[in-house]
């Protein structure tokens, strides 16, 4: 007798995105795979008209457009985001090119369940214009980092990184494109590890059960 298919309980995930949403797309694509252990239950976009909205709708995922301009304070905006996340009963929130600073209170409420992708090898180059700054600094390696979000900007515990070389003659766009390929690879891999319960934090350090910290190509 053939065994019935196992009922897979997927981790419910929200993605917060702004702008072009290519990392959102990589997560949508991964979650569309049959055996992927996470499902995107909600996408939140803070700028009406952003491409991220179309990407979510095309994938049949609910989208909440929460325009930050309609709120008197960061706290009020974050409270609206929090309400949507609670209503969708998500277990993990992925920031994917979300161009709003979240308040310390929000980061505290979602501590351990809120992750971000940043386009540098943190702790190098937190903040903006990371590719330009890496070139200007003469870095020979660059890359991306996925980390837990804490109240301090781009400073939470690092979950995984992917490296690329900085090549002679690179300009900002060429380097950004090389890093972006790795971002699209790394974010779904990390989400899978989290959904499989393989990521733990001990004394502020992330421990991954199974694969090494720098996920190989
Ligand atoms: C990515 O480089 C991401 O690392 C950074 O913002 C960019 C967003 O790109 N946080 P996209 O919107 O995912 O295409």
195 vs 193: CA distance, rounded Å: 5
pLDDT at 210: 79
Point out the ligand 1 atom lying closest to the alpha carbon of residue 26: 13
Work out whether strand 11-17 and strand 38-45 pair parallel, antiparallel, or are unpaired: parallel
pLDDT by position in tens, the chain (length 217)? 556 555 668 999 999 999 999 999 999 999 999 999 999 999 999 999 999 999 999 999 999 999 999 999 999 999 999 999 999 999 999 999 999 999 999 999 999 999 999 999 999 999 999 999 999 999 999 999 999 999 999 999 999 999 999 999 999 999 999 999 999 999 999 999 999 999 999 999 999 997 555 555 5
* DSSP-derived secondary structure for 108-129: HHTTTTEEEEESS-TTSS-SS-
Q: Phi and psi for 34 in degrees, rounded to 5?
A: -55, -45
**pTM of the predicted model, to two decimals?**
0.93
Tell me which residues have their CB closer than 6 angstroms to ligand 1: 19-23, 96-97, 117-119, 144, 180, 183
Point out the ligand 1 atom lying closest to the alpha carbon of residue 20: 12
Q: How many CB atoms lie under 10 A from the CB of residue 188?
A: 19
The length of the chain, given as a count of residues: 217
- For a pocket test of ligand 1, which of 26, 43, 47, 96 has the largest count of ligand atoms closer than 8 A to its C-beta? 96
Residue with CA nearest ligand 1 atom 7 = 97
pLDDT at 1: 52
How far does the centroid of ligand 1 lie from the alpha carbon of residue 117, in Å? 7
pLDDT at 84: 98
CB 98, CB 17: distance < 8 Å:
yes
Residues 6 or more apart from 104 whose CB is under 8 A from it?
151
CB 119, CB 144: distance < 8 Å:
yes
Residue with CA nearest ligand 1 atom 2 = 119
Point out the ligand 1 atom lying closest to the alpha carbon of residue 119: 4
């Amino acid at each position: 007798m053939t065994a019935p298919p196992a009922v897979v309980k997927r981790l419910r995930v929200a993605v917060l995105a702004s702008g072009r949403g290519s990392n959102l797309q990589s997560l949508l694509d991964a979650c569309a795979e049959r055996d992927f252990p996470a499902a995107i239950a909600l996408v939140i976009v803070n700028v009406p008209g952003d491409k991220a909205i179309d990407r979510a709708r095309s994938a049949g995922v609910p989208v909440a457009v929460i325009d930050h301009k309609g709120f008197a304070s960061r706290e009020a905006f974050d409270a609206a985001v929090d309400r949507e996340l609670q209503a969708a009963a998500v277990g993990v929130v992925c920031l994917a090119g979300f161009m709003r600073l979240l308040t310390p209170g929000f980061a505290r409420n979602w501590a351990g369940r809120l992750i971000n992708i940043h386009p540098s090898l943190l702790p190098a180059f937190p903040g903006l214009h990371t590719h330009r700054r890496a070139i200007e600094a003469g870095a020979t390696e660059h890359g991306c980092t996925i980390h837990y979000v804490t109240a301090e900007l781009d400073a939470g515990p690092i979950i995984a990184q992917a490296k690329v070389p900085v090549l002679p003659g690179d300009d900002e766009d060429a380097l950004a494109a090389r890093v972006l390929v790795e971002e699209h690879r790394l974010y779904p891999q990390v989400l899978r590890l989290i959904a499989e319960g393989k990521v733990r934090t001990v004394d502020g350090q992330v421990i991954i059960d199974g694969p090494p910290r720098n996920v190989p190509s």
